[in-house]
Amino acid sequence: MGHGLVEIDALIREEKRLTAVESQTEAWAEGLSAGIEPEIIAEAALTTAFVELMRNCGEDTALALLDTMREKVIAGDFEMVRFHH
């Protein structure tokens, strides 16, 4: 029974992640439509994310996420992701 709960939790987390990606993609498209350069949108999004993460989870969590994202960039993980705006 515990295994089923883990699967349900994973499905819920994935649904939340997809909803968050959809919201962020819409915000990105709105920024582009307003004439804001991608670098400015990205910096604002990252700043907002890290301010909120620091407030809610603390510095260690924020730094761990930063390390994880850096490793993903180095590994080329984001080159395969394509979002349609």
pLDDT tens per residue, range 17-42: 999 999 999 999 999 999 999 999 99
Residue 85 pLDDT more than 60?
no
Residue listed under structure tokens 């510095």: 59
Residue listed under structure tokens 């080159």: 79
**DSSP code of residue 37:** -
Distance (Å, rounded) from C-alpha 83 to C-alpha 27? 12
Work out the burial of residue 28: count CB atoms within 10 Å of its CB; fewer than 13 is exposed, 13-18 middle, 19 or more buried: middle
pTM for the full predicted model:
0.75
Q: What percent of the chain has pLDDT over 70?
A: 91
